[in-house]
Structure 1
Amino acid sequence: MKQSLGGLSRRDVLRYAGIFGAATAITGGLGACGGGAGDSGGAAGKTIEATLAFTLSSGFDPMNASSAVATAVNQHVFEALIDLDPITRQPYLALAAAQPTVSADGLTWTVQLREGAKFSDGSSVTADDVAWSFQRALDPANKALMAGFITFVDKVTAKDQRTAEFTLKHPFSLFPQRIAVIKIVPKAKTGDAAASKAFDTAPIGSGPFTVMSANATAGVVMGVNTNYNGPRPAKVEKITLRTSTDGTARLNDLRGSSSQVIEAVPYLDVKSVGADRKVEEKQAFNHLFLMFNCAAAPFSDKRVRQALHYAIDADKVVKTALQGYGTAASSYLDAGNAGYQKAATVYDYDPDKAKSLLAAAGASNLSFELHTTDAAFIKDSAPVIIDAWKAIGVTATLNTMPSSAIYGNVVPGPNFRVLAASGDPTVFGPDVDLLLRWFYVNQTWTKDRHRWTNDAAKQCAQLIESAAKASGSEQTALWKQALDLIADEAPLYPVFHVKMVTAYDPAKLKDFQGAATTGLYFLGASRA
């Protein structure tokens, strides 16, 4: 994954330009976050120090937070009614006092709030705040990133102080876990545009931690929310999240003991981390994908897109660029996903088939610029991919840029053709519906970026919507059709899925596990 989940749009770049300039602190107003560094649940004055692999490149408002750092921080600062454990990805009761109940027709869900829940500023969490949090995300004027994940919601109302009622447009079997994408925010602090702008840099949530300070380059410091009364109280007094895109710098933090844990251990260094450190590797959805401008010839012809995939020996790329810490794609979903189904089209290495597809499409002497983001494994993989294309007579020149420039300037431009990049929406949830919607039923990705708007794209959207209204084997079958169609069309499709490698000092960190997504998570963790 890049610094942002799939990259910042031009709107995002402009929106955050005034907030996250180089070395610009965003501590203004953080004192209003409440809480502090007091003892909570046996915090006992201990600090966890960690180094993340990305820098802070978005605000914290959970309806739009897109950066790897912000989404990781928000898991500690905010709560949804139902949250997904960042490690197991299993749902658990957060602000909800009990499992949501549903009407016989599946159109009305009722949720009771946890008694005594408070935000970090000491104000009570009410059903009005719940209704407001969903309402503001659904408001088209806010262009919320999360809106696309809750299209099944018609309205949310507060029946009383602790009871929220959801009216759906159609039954949605994934409701209890999907509502995890909407973190509950105080209506009093986000009621208008000015308040929301301030909230973006000085967040107030009901989770076990609060943001004490944040800096675009130095990282984030979290303290204890002393008002928290939920199921996962803080077990340390403070969490310091350093940020560095430099793998060597992260390793030095771990080896020098300035950090007890780091994410994204450089693949070349995994075996040399040290016998006194624990290394965890987990198969992830995060992937290297190829994205094409499907509105521009010859990439408007799916045979050209298919050919460029068949030309790549994904296993060789994984071995060469990732030292084996990845898996060649056999579906849009990684094989570790609970909803994984092998696609009908698998792009096994077949250069002869690639040549024949190019010839059939009339795309001889194909030449183009391959744009890539600057994530380490993307940069390392690109030359191997370009060499594979050269072997079938395709010439690609390399242009690597930061993700903000790629998505802010290059992709929206008229000359964009092919991109190699990464993305990991599983930080929001691992279910098939959510992951399909992220890249294939989305204005930003489907229409503005890979420009996949043909009849197949419309059929794909219909399959995803039909699956959302179904359940059980019918739903699974519809997802399989969508996965097969996406594999065949390949407007944006993975070459391989990576493994996330985390390293930590077990002598200094207790009850910690690495995640299969970007980010480091310390709910329930403490210093040993």
Structure 2
Amino acid sequence: MKNSVRILLSTAVALVCIGGPAVADPMRGGVVDVATIGEPPTLDPVSSTADLVGIISQHMFETLYTFDKNWAVTPLLAAAMPKVSADGTVYTIELRPGVTFHDGTAMTSKDVVASLQRWLKIGSRGKQVAANVVSIEPAGDLAVKITLKSAYAPLTAFLAFNNSAAIVIPAANNEDTLTKFVGTGPYMLKERKPDQYVQLVRFPGYASRAGDPDGYGGARKQYLDEIRFVPVPDANTRVEGAVAGQFGYVDSLPIESFARVKAGKDVPMMLKPFGWPMFVMNTKQGVLADLGLRKAIQAALAPEDMLTAAFGSKEFFAVEGSMYPKDYVWATDAGTDAYKPQGDTAAASALLKKANYDPSKPIRILTSRQYEFHYKMALVAQEYLKAAGFAVQLDVVEWATLIQRRADPALWDIYITHSPFLPEPALIGFMSDAAPGWWTSPAKTAAIGAFNTETDPAKRLKLWAEVQKVIYAEAPAFKVGNFNALAAKSPKLEGVAAAPWPYFWNAWLEK
């Protein structure tokens, strides 16, 4: 079973390969400042689905598995891919010997079991898996056994993902709110000064995998002495920093700044296609708990105009309703008749009238200018929703504040976010009943349940099409389209690949 799932993941490679170049004996030393979109809400990747948290914390904490340069699941803290019983319900995972935590203690199965149980309890993606878990227990000092109620095809992908991540920490530190940031990663936390930097330094006791670097997998070399993640919330300030060569790496630049960045001191890095912006709807509480009003939103929005406002030239975006681009193995047109590039104001108005919408209750759109394209799409969306008959309230906040507010269903009706194209559809945020938006329904449960328990790759493709039909029928979120991502790096910084979650092990500075 595991081989067929691995093959399916590895064929999803319209995803940009994430392997860095192999170079003999780069120089050790140096400090790299990484400009990020803002202050991370936490450094605990279990408790957060924010990409910023995953970008920083992946240097400190590690998971049993990760993704290689072709987006296939590959071992990290695990010694090998799991041994899976014939019925797909028992996974035995051997652990790598000689792995130590930043506090000097050795990693054992006791730590892994406690960490996975914490993940199942508090991680949004862990909660997705938890419903199907019978037990997690040691199988000796360096092995764990996971017993499931039924076969669960995406398990290793969940264990590999760095977002709401199944990190391994010392069992002694196992608490709901993490206060000791001790992992096994190549870099460890030295200091955090809110709104100034998160400072990571080389962990001298790090046990790298053998072999060559391979995407997020393979060897993780510690060439840099120190990595500092510096919050730069204003997008224009990040652009000017890239032009001036102020940082070693600048993340999440407005795509329309490509020409300006190219003419500056830093080297632009384009990830094409990167992912998809989305409007997530609050299906739990408020006006959009009404399916009729969500369908009215779906009809009213004009993806092409929103994408044009956000990204400018069509070379940077594509108007496409499928949850995956056409070259991906998961691409399907199922259900996308509801996706109208120009929107349909008349249809939206009719749906509003049918649902008896009360215009004294505005649609509260939660967004941030730290991702400037989110804000630009919100402005366009506001006008189309008003034209259809909605009252609209834009709540523009810092990204960290948005992350906090979206956890409270009383505070918003739509929040704007984005996601890279993920190698396993089960990883998409709103697939979880517990994710903000809180989409649940009998149709969702049935469609996703069938998809997750099927292990045959060809059958899973057909079942994903059924899931996408339910997404469009129940409108828990609105996919705007596809877009490219832009970052920039110093010409002296080598060994960094364009990646959805940039990483700086295997990176070095030319002297």
Task: Tell me the equivalent position of 1:30.
Answer: none
1:322 aligns with 2:329: no
TM-aligned CA distance change 1:337 to 1:47, over 3 Å:
farther
| Pairing of 1:264-303 with structure 2 (within 5 A) | 264-275=252-263, 277-293=267-283, 296=286, 299-303=288-292
Q: What is residue 351 of structure 2 aligned with on the other side?
A: 357
Deviations 1:495-514 (A, max 9, x none): 23442211223x31212122
Which blocks of at least 5 consecutive residues in structure 2 are unaligned? Answer: 1-24, 209-218
Aligned residue number for residue 396 of structure 1 = 392
Task: Provide the rounded CA distance (Å) in 2 between the counterparts of 1:491 and 1:191.
Answer: 34
Contact 2:406 2:436 in 1 (8 A): no
Match of 1:443 in 2: 434
One-letter code aligned to 2:146: F
Give the match for residue 224 of structure 1.
202
Q: How does 1:421-500 map to 2 (within 5 A)?
A: 421-424=416-419, 430-435=423-428, 438-447=429-438, 452=439, 457-472=441-456, 473-500=458-485
- Give the 3-state SS of the residue equivalent to 2:362 in structure 1: strand
Q: 2:124·2:432 contact (CA, 8 Å) conserved in 1?
A: no
- TM-score, length of structure 2 as denominator length: 0.81
Cα RMSD of the aligned pairs, angstroms, is 2.9
Matched residue of 1:114: which SS? coil
SS of residue paired to 2:461: helix
Q: Does 1:95 align with 2:77?
A: yes
SS of the residue aligned with 1:104?
coil
Structure 1 position 108, deviation (Å): 1.7
C-alpha distance in 1, partners of 2:437/2:385? 25
TM-superposed CA distance for 1:464, in Å, is 0.9
SS of equivalent to 1:76: coil
> What is the SS of the residue equivalent to 1:387?
helix
Residue 14 of structure 1 aligns with which residue? Answer: none
**Structure 1 range deviating more: 147-156 or 313-322:** 147-156
Where in structure 2 are the equivalents of 1:89-238 lying within 5 Å? 89-139=71-121, 143-151=122-130, 152-180=132-160, 181-188=165-172, 190-192=173-175, 197-199=178-180, 203-230=181-208, 231-238=219-226
Which one-letter code corresponds to 1:150 in the other structure?
V
Q: What residue in structure 2 maps to residue 13 of structure 1?
A: none
Alpha-carbon deviations, 1:120-145, whole Å to 9, x = none? 22221112211121122234xxx333
Secondary structure in structure 2 of the residue aligned to 1:73: helix
TM-score, normalisation: structure 1: 0.79
Residue 334 of structure 1 deviates from its aligned partner by 5.4
Gaps of 5+ in 1: 1-40
- The CA distance in 2 between the partners of 1:321 and 1:514, in whole Å, is 21
Alignment correspondent of 1:49 = 33
SS at match of 1:289: strand
- Could you give the per-residue CA deviations for residues 384-421 of structure 1, whole angstroms, max 9, x where no partner exists? 1222234344443433234565565688465x673241
Work out which of the residue numbers 232, 240, 244 in structure 2 matches 1:256: 244
Once the two structures are aligned, what percentage of the paired residues are identical? 21
Q: What is the number of residues matched between the two proteins?
A: 461
Q: Secondary structure at the match of 1:445?
A: coil
Taking the aligned partners of 1:192 and 1:242, their CA distance within structure 2 comes to 28
Closer, same or farther: CA 67–359 of 1 in aligned 2, 3 Å: closer
CA distance in 1, matches of 2:57, 2:290: 41
Mapped partners of 1:490, 1:256: distance in 2: 43
Cα contact 1:288–1:495 (8 A) shared by 2: yes
- Asked if the contact 1:46/1:236 (under 8 Å) is kept, the reply is yes
Q: Distance in 1 between matches of 2:204 and 2:406?
A: 45
- In the aligned structure 1, how far is the partner of 2:401 from the partner of 2:226? 34
- Please say which of residues 309-318 and 359-368 is displaced more in the overlay: 359-368
What is the CA-CA distance between 1:355 and the residue it aligns to? 3.6
